[in-house]
Amino acid sequence: MTRIQRNSVQLKGVLALAGMLMSSSAAMSADTPEAFSTLSPEIQALFGGIEDTVQPSAYDGFEMPEKPWKWCHSESYQGNPWRVSVTNELKRLVDMYKEKGWVTDFEMSDSNGDVSAQISQIRSFIDKDCSIITSFAGSSTALNEAIKAAYDAGIPFVTGAGAVTSPYAINVDSNYVKFGYDLSKAIIDNLNGEGNVLRVEGIAGSPIVAQQRQGADQAFDEAEGINVVRDVNGNWSGNVTKTVVLQTLATNPQPIDAVWTSGSEARIVAEAFKQAGRPVPLITGSISGDSLGYWKENQEEFKFAGGALMPTWTAHTLFRVGVRVLEGQEPKLNLVMVPVPSVESDKLGDWYKSCMTPSSSSIFPVAPEDPLPANLMDEYFKNPEPVALFDYSQTPDPCEGQ
């Protein structure tokens, strides 16, 4: 057993989900990584309720590849506009470094939901002497041997939007347990604790789906009057989501008062209900351009509650952490937590742009502010330095080129 494995710990119950927002430091046990205590209460609060394994970073004194770097990105699924937008924004950022001669190449693979294929693609990246491998993992555990192989080959491995359990990865993630819980609480509050809910989850087996369900289940279990009539997988895809929602409506004649979903398909869900001749219920999720366009045209009927899991800041945090790791800034922990901006139904106008219509499925708004600015990201590193060339204010306007 390695030192890292011996020191692996579970940070369970840092905060109870019922008290996600906190004003003091998260409670720590004797087994909590010592580095966690160096984080501010603001950062510690982001870990509230997470039951994933929080470990010390494996990259203390790790000999990093020298510039110019070859940047390799392992995708598990490119079948929806959100994932495509992340890849495009990540490539834009890496291209800035290519122009400076700091990066030689950006190579991307897509396993299209096949975990075995993703493992093979990662091993191919190792053979190609990539300097770093960033990844959206198709499984929280299945990639672990490939991740260790990359580590042994001197290649740092950084994941985004869904943590893996390997101690040899740095995970750039958000508290999806809290996100799932908050979406459920929004439904409970809007329905005054009573009603029927359809739950439309993402890709079965995804680490994010498991975490979101954990939070959602806890909130719904606390509300005796809430009945989840069915769980279906929409795969965070418009076509799949519409199909499973219509199938559910055809076989469930009882009223559905809300739809719990965490993806960017709120508009698709609303249209499915209208197509079925059913009242459009409250819909949760992550706001998107087409949903904002639908809201603009249907303000009286569209009810939304959720957050802004934006592809832009997802790509930004993955890129910035990747650069910091390559530069030897030494992450303190294996998990860099990013807060999710909230979106209130009465604030949708603040996110709307004129190019957004109900057909704008590949347009996503940009959060007004960086959810993890440099001063907060600095806390996660032992030797923090600014990321050259990165400027959140220069994030491309979502209407640019439309």
Q: State the sign of the Cα–Cα–Cα–Cα dihedral 64, 127, 166, 5.
A: negative
Residue partners of 106: CB distance under 8 A and separation at least 6: 71, 72, 73, 91, 94, 95, 98
**pLDDT value at 72 more than 70:** yes
**pLDDT value at 63 more than 50:** yes
Domain range summary for the chain, segments of one domain joined by +: 3-54, 176-307
- Whole-number pLDDT of residue 5: 35
- Strand 303-307 to strand 342-343: parallel, antiparallel, or no bridges (unpaired)? antiparallel
Distances (CA, A) of 194 to 1, 179, 225, 243: 50, 21, 4, 27
The DSSP element (H or E) to which 242 belongs, if any, is helix 238-251
- Whole-number pLDDT of residue 211: 86
**pLDDT value at 322 more than 80:** yes
Per-residue pLDDT tens over the stretch 107-164? 999 999 999 999 999 999 999 999 999 999 999 899 999 999 999 999 999 999 888 9
Whether the Cβ atoms of residue 210 and residue 140 lie closer than 8 Å to each other: yes
- Mean pLDDT across the stretch 28-48? 81
SS3 content of the chain, % helix, strand, coil (to 5): 40, 20, 45
What is the number of other CB atoms lying within 10 angstroms of the CB of residue 120? 14
CA distance 274 to 257: 14
3-state DSSP call for residue 260? strand
H helices then E strands: how many in the chain? 13, 14
Angle at 206 between CA 294 and CA 106, to 5 degrees: 85
Helices (H), 254-385: 266-275, 289-297, 311-326, 348-351, 374-377
CATH of domain 176-307: 3.40.50.2300
- Whole-number pLDDT of residue 207: 78
Whether the Cβ atoms of residue 228 and residue 220 lie closer than 8 Å to each other: yes
Q: Quick one: 63 exposed, middle or buried, by C-beta within 10 A (0-12, 13-18, 19+)? A: exposed
Tokens of 381: 């590193």
